[in-house]
Amino acid sequence: MTATSAEPLSGYCGYCGSSVQLGGKFCPKCGSAFNSAAVQSPGVLPLAPVSIHKMIAGNDIATLERMVAEHPEDETYQKLLAIQLHDDAIADWWKDPKNGDLLCTSWQQIQYARQQLARAAALKFNDVKVRADLAETCRLVESMEERQYTGNKFQIVILGLFYIFPGWLWWYVNRRPAFLINRDYVKYSQTGKHPSVGAKMGGTMEKVSDFFDSITGGWGGWFALGFMVFFSPVFMLLAYKQNYLDMKKEYEMS
C-alpha cells in the first residue's frame, strides 16, 4: 500500500519488528535508536538500529543525562542512559581472550562499577531485560570481593594431620578476593606461563613458587609446597598480612 501525503510513512523496527513511523529517533516499544539516513528515506525497511556510541558524539553519558533532564517523562532516554551506564561500569575490565569473560582486577574497578550501576538502577523505565541485565551485573560485581582458596587442598590435609587447626588456618589465610586472583591470572595469561599452585596463592608464595620454577624447570610448584609446609607458620603470617591486613588498608584508603 502506497502512503499518501495525509498518511504518515511507516516502517518496521529492525530490532524488535514493531511497526513505527518514519521520522522518529527511537522505537517506541524497545527504545532502539534508528539510523538517521533510514529515517529520512521513505520506504526503507527495516529501520536499522545503531549503537548509542555512534548515535551520540562526544560524552555519551553526559549527552543522555541532558536528554533525560530535558525530557523527564520520556522513559526511552532513561532506558538508553541505563544501558550506557551499565556498559561503562565494566568497560575497563579485562576481557579473557579464551572465553570472552570480563574480569575485574582492582578494588577501584569494583567501586566505580557499583557507582554506575546504582545510577542506572535509579532511573525510571520499564524494561524487564535491561533490569535483569543490571541485576546480573550487580551480582557479578559483588562476586569480585568474594574470597576463594586457590592453593593445593593436599596441603590443608598435610597440616591437618598434625592437628585440625593448622589445616583450617592455612585455608583461611590463603583465601584471596576474586579480583586479586583475576589480577594474577591476567599476569600469567599475558606471559603465556601457566601458574603453578604456589603462584596462584599470590604474594610471597607466588614469588617462592616462581623461584623454584626457575631452578627446577617447571616443578617449582611442588618444591614450593614442601617448602611452605616446612615453614608454614611464617607463610601463614605473610598470607594473612597480604590477603587481609593489606586489603583492609586498601579499602580504607579508597
Q: How confident is the model at residue 60 (pLDDT cuts 50, 70, 90)?
A: confident
Q: How confident is the model at residue 1 (pLDDT cuts 50, 70, 90)?
A: very low
| Residue extents of the structural domains in the chain | 10-50, 56-143, 147-253
Q: How many CB atoms lie within 10 A of CB 165?
A: 10
pLDDT in tens, 94-136: 999 888 999 999 999 999 999 999 999 999 999 999 999 999 9
- Cα dihedral sign, 13-18-23-25: negative
For residues 73-93, give the mean pLDDT: 93
If you average pLDDT over each of 8-22, 172-186, 213-227, 238-252, which comes out highest?
Answer: 172-186
Q: Which helix (H) or strand (E) holds 76?
A: helix 75-89
C-alpha cell at 128: 524487564
Calpha distance 163→203 (Å, rounded): 26
- 3-state SS string over 221-249? HHHHHHHHHHCHHHHHHHHHHHHHHHHHH
Please give the mean pLDDT across all residues of the chain.
76
- Cβ pair 81, 134 in contact under 8 A: no
For residues 228-241, give the mean pLDDT: 84
pLDDT number for residue 107: 92
pLDDT in tens, 33-59: 555 433 333 333 333 333 434 344 335
pLDDT number for residue 118: 97
Which amino acid is residue 7, in one-letter code?
Answer: E
DSSP 34-99: EPHHHHHSTT--SBPEE-HHHHS-S-HHHHHHHHHHH-TT-HHHHHHHHHHHHHHHTTTSEEPTTT
